[in-house]
Each structure stands twice: as C-alpha cells, then as structure tokens.
Amino acid sequence: RKEVEQDPGPFNVPEGATVAFNCTYSNSASQSFFWYRQDCRKEPKLLMSVYSSGNEDGRFTAQLNRASQYISLLIRDSKLSDSATYLCAVPGTYDSWGKFQFGAGTQVVVTP
Amino acid sequence: GAVVSQHPSWVICKSGTSVKIECRSLDFQATTMFWYRQFPKQSLMLMATSNEGSKATYEQGVEKDKFLINHASLTLSTLTVTSAHPEDSSFYICSARDPLAGVSEQFFGPGTRLTVL
C-alpha cells in the first residue's frame, strides 16, 4: 500500500459547482498535512495546511479524519481557474522527519 | 511565503553530458533543501535531502554517484546529473524549509525541465 493515495480523477466539474476529493495516508503518527495545487508543467504551490480537524480559506475547505486516516479538500463555487492537479502532502515522522510524501494528485477540470 | 529559485528553468543536453541545476532560497536561510523528480502524470518523488555543510542523504534507489548534491551555503544547493541519459529526462524540483515559517512547510522552486537527447 502506498503511503499517500489519491483518486487521480479527472473530476470534471461544471463552473459554479462543488467538488470534493480525498487523500488517504498510512502513517497514523502524521500530525500535519498539506494540499498543494500544481498547474501543468509548473511547481506545486501551497494551497492549504491542515493541523487539526480542518481548515477553511474562502471557497476551499480541508478536513482531517484521523480515525479513517484521510484528509479531504472541498472546493465550492468552482471557477475555471481552479482547473489544476491537487497534490496531497504528508510530512514524515521519526527518521523521515521533514520529508514529504506526495500523493499522485487529483486532476480537477472545471468546465464552462 | 518564502521564495525559492531554480536555474536553469529548462535545459536540453546530449546523452553523456552532465547538467548542473541550482536551487536558491532568496529571502531565508535553508539548512535543509529537498530534491524531487516528477515524470509526466506522476507524483513528485523525493530523490535526496540536501544538508548544508554535510553529505546529502539519498532515497532508496537513487544513485548518489549519478546525482551529485552539494549544499555549500545556507542559500544554495546544487544537483548535478552526471552522464545524463534519455531516461533522466524529467522535471526536477527543489524545495526548502524556512525554519521561521513553520515546522514542516516546504516552499518549492519553479522546477527545471531536463531533456536528454
């Protein structure tokens, strides 16, 4: 089993709709989590961090479910500019402290 | 957030040559930088952790003699792909942690796209 798994998508979302997707992680000791947005042929850019139960920033909401070991990202009122690949990142613990494990990414395509 | 730069942004080279990629933290000092590689439609894979003033630590399966890392100052790490071959063609991205920004948050450089002919 991979340490961080994501549904690759693509999630085709009509403009204005809501989309949500999950990221599961295997290390139960993980304390913090990150969502990055990556546009085609570009570097990942930090979207949100999740340290406790969840985080909200405008149209974006991230939630953490420790019992089931997954984090989710919800995008409300989708914009065309939200089209991107969303990467989940989980920092390592113990001897992997500081290292990030990335999921393969979830592709979101917002259509007019 | 903190700013990390990479140079060059893209490079095309012949098989057998070596290519050096620079990663700089512009507005903070980074004792640790990370080098990733990303193939098309795949995730970022950590190659190695670059530690200022000491040897880099490589992930399993990454050849340290092929991917030479030097972290000579608190703001610069370099990755040299030696004797590059077409299978080394990839998107190489560095990241750095700003100790003042948070325990584990990483900031990424814009990446270097390497094409080996």
Q: What is the DSSP string of chain A?
A: --SEEE----EEEETT--EEEEEEES-TT---EEEEEE-TTS--EEEEEESSSEEEETTEEEEEETTTTEEEEEE-S--GGG-EEEEEEEEB-GGGBT-EEE---EEEEEE-
Candidate from A41, A87, A98 with C-beta closest to B43: A87
For B99, nearest residue in chain A (alpha carbons): A98
Mean pLDDT of B12-18: 96
Per-residue confidence at B1, pLDDT binned at 50, 70, 90? low
Mean of pLDDT values over B40-53: 88
Higher pLDDT, B54 or B103: B54
Query: Which one of A2, A39, A43 makes the best mutation probe of the B interface by having the most chain B beta carbons within 10 Å?
Result: A43
Whether B81 has a pLDDT exceeding 90, the answer reads: yes
CB contact B92 to A (< 8 Å): no
Which pLDDT does position A31 carry in this prediction? 84
A104 touches chain B (CB under 8 A): yes
**For range B86-99, the mean pLDDT:** 91
* B103 pLDDT more than 80: no
Q: What is the pLDDT of residue A95?
A: 61
For chain A, residues with pLDDT lower than 50 are none
Q: Shortest CB distance from B104 goes to which of A32, A45, A102?
A: A32
d(CA B58, CA B55): 9
Supply the pLDDT for residue B83: 96
- Kindly tell me if the per-residue pLDDT of B98 is higher than 80: no
- pLDDT, residue A96, reads 65
Burial A22-40 (b: 16+ CB within 10 A, else e): bbbbebeebebbbbbbbee
d(CA B30, CA B3): 11
Torsion of CA B41, B96, A2, B62, to 10 degrees: 80
- Name which of A6-20, B15-29, B96-110 the model is least confident about: B96-110
